[in-house]
Each structure stands twice: as structure tokens, then as C-alpha cells.
Amino acid sequence: MKKKVKISAPGKLMLFGEHAVVYGKPCIVTAVDERMKVSVEATDGNLLTLNAPDLIASDYVEKIDKLGDESVPKEVRFVSKAVKNFFDSRGLKSGLKIETKSDFSSKFGFGSSSAVTVATIKALSEIFDCNLDNRELFELSYKTILDVQGVGSGFDVAVAIWGEMIYFVTKGKKIEKIDSPELPLVVGYTGIKADTPMLISEVNKLLNKDKKRVFGIFDSIEKIVNEARQLFTERDYVKLGELMNENQKLLDALNVSSPELDKLIESSKLAGAYGAKLSGAGGGDCMVALVPPDKKVKVEGAIEEAGGTVINVKSRAQGARIEKNI
């Protein structure tokens, strides 16, 4: 048994297929180089001590026997449930000291919940010499997300584990790497935090009102995702931009865009982006534009001018890994 381990996992940026991926369809997601770092130390006794300044919890203490209690603040619950699910699955128990440190603000919707969950479980697997493989890590982490949040396709968990860029089908039915170099992306934040479970529920209400139309939209999104997958390997950014615009129209038809997102998307296109769309659940959070390299600065300026904040991220970051400097 190791005494202390530090693991980092990347954040994510959805490129194509959001919402439809909740209903059995594929999506394409890239890992980004903003990372969540989690240090885990086995201690004597029966307490979990969590120091997570970015998750709004300093020296939070919980009894190991009571982990995952519903009354625990949501920000802490992912770590607490992750520990509980790991211990339950392996029949283990120990005192723990956990510290988390995030490169990115959790408000950006870059997947801090899935990254912290994956990093916590991978660190526990290292400490207790369990050698979980990626698939086992996915299953335990995804269960944890569902336990806390109730909904989600699992795409964010998969990309936090495998990293780079992946083609993902609901609940991890397919997780396949896409061969592509780093992408010429510009990301703009609207300043509004999105409520993912609420937006998923709104889309579900729409679906129940008109199944034929909404499943038709999901089918069209699936076609776009499959075409885009091929175009990434061919590096055809012009056509990928067009597909982003088409995907955005379909997301608009699902009522998940917002005036703020529309404004940033339109201004980036006017400034020369190949294409742009919202990224993630919608309602706020981020948009992403694919841009010719010589238009990058102009597109960034246009997004700022339209009231957005440009977030500098690199795509195709490495998946969850052990950090040497503890």
C-alpha cells in the first residue's frame, strides 16, 4: 500500500452531439489542458478530511462510515461518494486526507465534477494497489456521477480518463479515440453558469410533447457527429465548421441556446470563424468556434466585444495520470 498519491485529470469541451448523447446517440468530445489535481493520503482513524478550496470546502471532515450522506454539500459529494463507491466495491475502509486543486473555475462547465471523481478513484486504486483498468475506473466514476447528479451520458467521465479526443456513445457503449492534431479552437464564456440537469430535463419535456420531431433532431445530430468524426481525421476544418453551424441550428430547435450564446456565436462567425456552436448543456456556459489560424485574434476580439470572456485552452490533453511532484 502506498501512503500518498497525486492524480490529475483533464477538463473537457464538447464538440458535437450534446443532448442527443443522453438518448443513445454518439458525441465527440476533447480533453482540455486545464486539469483537476487530487492528492490522497491514507491515514489512521475513521475520518475523511477534505481540503478543496476550489470546491468551496476547506478542511471538511466526514466519518468514513457516513460517506455520501445526502446532506453533504454538492461540491463535496462527488469526492465523498467516489470514496464510498470505491470502498464498497473493494470491501476496504481507511481514514483519508484528500486535497483537490483545480486549474479551472468550476463555473466554466469544463467538467470539474467528473474530473475530481475520476482523479479521486484513480488515486484510491493506486494507494490500495487495486490496479483498476480504464473500464473499471469508468464504471465506478460514472456510477458516482449518477448517484450525485441523477442524469448524464458519461461522456465527461470517459474523456477525463482516456483524454485526447473521443467518439463516445451513451453510457460508454463506445469509447474510441479520434486521430486529430490539436484543433484551432476559440472558446468564449458567456458569464452565465448553466444548470445541466435542468436543461436535460427541459429537453426531456420537449421530447415527451413531440417524440417524432425530437427524435428526428437527435437522428440529424447523429449524422453530423458521424460525418464530423471522418472529417477530423481528414483535417477538413472548413466542412467541420459548417457542421458546427448545422449542429447549433439543431440545438436551437431543442431550445437550449440562449441570447448570450447566440451573440458570441454570431460575432465569431462574422469575424471569420469556420463555424461555431454552444458546447455542453447550453443555456449559458461556453461556446466554441473553429477558426483559421490567421483569424484567431480577430475572433477572440469579437467575442470579448460581444460581452464574452475568451478562455485559452488547448485541446487533446492527456487523460488521467499520476503526478510525480506530490
Binding site for ligand PMV (CB under 6 A): 14, 18-19, 21-22, 109, 152-153, 155-156, 194, 196, 200, 280-281
Using the minimum distance from each CB to ligand PMV, give the nearer residue, 14 or 137. Answer: 14
- State yes or no: is 156 an active-site residue: yes
CB of 168 to ligand PMV, least distance (A): 9
Q: Is 195 exposed, middle or buried (0-12, 13-18, 19+ CB in 10 A)?
A: middle
The C-alpha cell that represents 127 in the structure block = 494507494
Q: Taking the complex as a whole, how short is the minimal distance between the CB of residue 149 and ligand PMV, in angstroms?
A: 9
- What the block records as the C-alpha cell of 308 is 464574452
Whichever of 5 and 14 has its CB closer to ligand PMV, that residue is 14
Cell of 62: 466526514
Burial of 319 (0-12, 13-18, 19+ CB in 10 A): buried
User: Which of 133, 156, 262, 285 is an active site residue?
Assistant: 156
Residue with nearest beta carbon to ligand PMV = 280
CA 116 vs CA 13, 52, 66, 215: distances in Å? 16, 10, 20, 33
HEC string of 69-119 equals: CCCCCHHHHHHHHHHHHHHHHHCCCCEEEEEEEECCCHHHCCCHHHHHHHH
Residue of 17, 322, 1 lying closest to 166 (CA atoms): 17
CB of 293 to ligand PMV, least distance (A): 26
Q: Which is nearer to ligand PMV, 195 or 323 (CB)?
A: 195
Of 22 and 48, nearer to ligand PMV (C-beta) is 22
C-alpha radius of gyration, the chain, whole number: 20
Q: What minimum distance in Å lies between the beta carbon of 208 and ligand PMV? A: 17
Q: Catalytic positions, please?
A: 156
